[in-house]
Structure 1
């Protein structure tokens, strides 16, 4: 990671957060105050904003579709945030901290957290409803988020802990871990890239190249996350560390060890970059993002 790219990403995140704050205030003006507060607590807590950044940068390769890309970026981030709110619940991962602040169910209560997540999920599709490419954007996001994507991946993740199997924990194999991570993390990141292309009216081959890049980036992001959970600093990361091993989660760190996971991370980043060669425009930012994901410390 180079420092200029880190600064550029942070600058985007700051501007995006201010823009999102204004849009949420507009869309939630008639909502119960407690619900609006909980949604804002979750959505405006910071974060790297990598998914909306991917939407924007993917669209910029084609120099069109700015309005649709902006709406798609809001949609992706709202949907991602809803997933975090629900994942943090006691019935799921039971986390007390997220992005350096108390999780929604801790700051408010479980019922409010569930409803705040529901609200964020619904807002995602409200953002897409008025776009020029509503059908393509909505379908892509729904597939990435549903039973064959993020939600299904979360259930497989819980099953790998042994929650539902009478015989105990599902054996950790590369196939099992790749399936979990491709669905739980990779699907939405790949959709972010593809939605940027859809917003810009890109041709199918370019959409698929970006989606393939996104799938590799999603795997890299999750491997890096697992390494941070093992070796990271909780204060720097903004959430508890060491929980994956304690919960018996299926990860490449657990399967391959730290060095093996780092080697896989490096090769995955290179595989992601290889998908950018056939795309138009300047892909240097997307290449830099791949490097950032491999070297981030939070």
Structure 2
């Protein structure tokens, strides 16, 4: 559903300026798991709401995630040549086009969110959800997380400092995906608190397993070289805690995430499965 909607919503590759639209589509369709839009749609289902009206909003989250990857891969930041087994956007299209493709994806995402207007969502709820996205993707979320991550390179940092980095850089968009799904679906305050705690623990588990895979993962399945975090002297959970303690922390976070879904019925099963799948993920 998400892939079909993304294909429909993104400009055609032959539409002028072709190089921009080709760069956008190249990165969006490079094999992502669509985890963030899936989380939004699954949250709607947990609240017994039809998820189809929220598809443009869900796709907006994927565009924001993709923009962040394009910019994260740039030489001025992580300087990566491969993403999901393919040349990164700047390697394929050049740095200038990669920057512009990322900018275009980020700004177009807000157009997609507005497309949900008039689809049975109250204007106040829609505005609230959009504000959450702007907060989580911006100055108080992903951006500050990226700055903190780069600042921590080649430094010894504490566990609290590491959690701060990833709560913002990685966790913020997971949190937003679940909260936006709850807000658009009319979740009450108690439901939203439980969903937020689920998302925060799920985001923690995702980042820990991501760090673990960079140490022990299969390069073919990851689509990028392993050991890049150590080479760049990145702050990671295995570097700080060791592999076994990192794995235990990830399992604990998954268990916590699932417990926070106790107030929800069978409709929350996809959210439970997403959390459980993180323990054994290979990419």
Q: Distance in 2 between matches of 1:29 and 1:65?
A: 34
Q: Distance in 2 between matches of 1:75 and 1:244?
A: 29
- Alignment counterpart, residue 147 of structure 1, candidates 102, 120, 139: 139
User: Contact 1:56 / 1:73 at 8 angstroms: preserved in 2?
Assistant: yes
Deviation for aligned residue 1:122? 0.7
Change (3 A) 1:30 1:208: farther
Alignment of 1:135-284 (within 5 A): 135-162=127-154, 169=155, 171-284=156-269
Query: Which digits, 9 at most, give the CA deviation of each residue in 1:137-159, with x for residues without a partner?
Result: 21111111112111100000000
In the alignment of these two chains, the number of paired residues is 276
Structure 2: stretches of 5+ with no match in the other structure: none
Paired position in structure 1 for 2:6: 20
- Alignment counterpart, residue 81 of structure 1, candidates 41, 53, 66: 66
Higher mean C-alpha displacement, 271-280 vs 249-258: 271-280
Alignment of 1:29-178 (within 5 A): 31-64=16-49, 66-131=51-116, 132=121, 133-162=125-154, 169=155, 171-178=156-163
Query: Which digits, 9 at most, give the CA deviation of each residue in 1:104-125, with x for residues without a partner?
Result: 0000100000000000001111
Alignment RMSD (CA, Å): 1.6
User: Contact 1:233 / 1:241 at 8 angstroms: preserved in 2?
Assistant: yes
Q: Distance in 1 between matches of 2:232 and 2:106?
A: 27
Deviation for aligned residue 1:47? 1.3
User: Contact 1:177 / 1:251 at 8 angstroms: preserved in 2?
Assistant: yes
Deviation for aligned residue 1:201? 1.6
Q: Distance in 2 between matches of 1:91 and 1:111?
A: 12
Relative to the length of structure 1, the TM-score reads: 0.89
Relative to the length of structure 2, the TM-score reads: 0.93
User: Contact 1:66 / 1:199 at 8 angstroms: preserved in 2?
Assistant: no
Deviation for aligned residue 1:205? 1.8
Deviation for aligned residue 1:64? 2.4
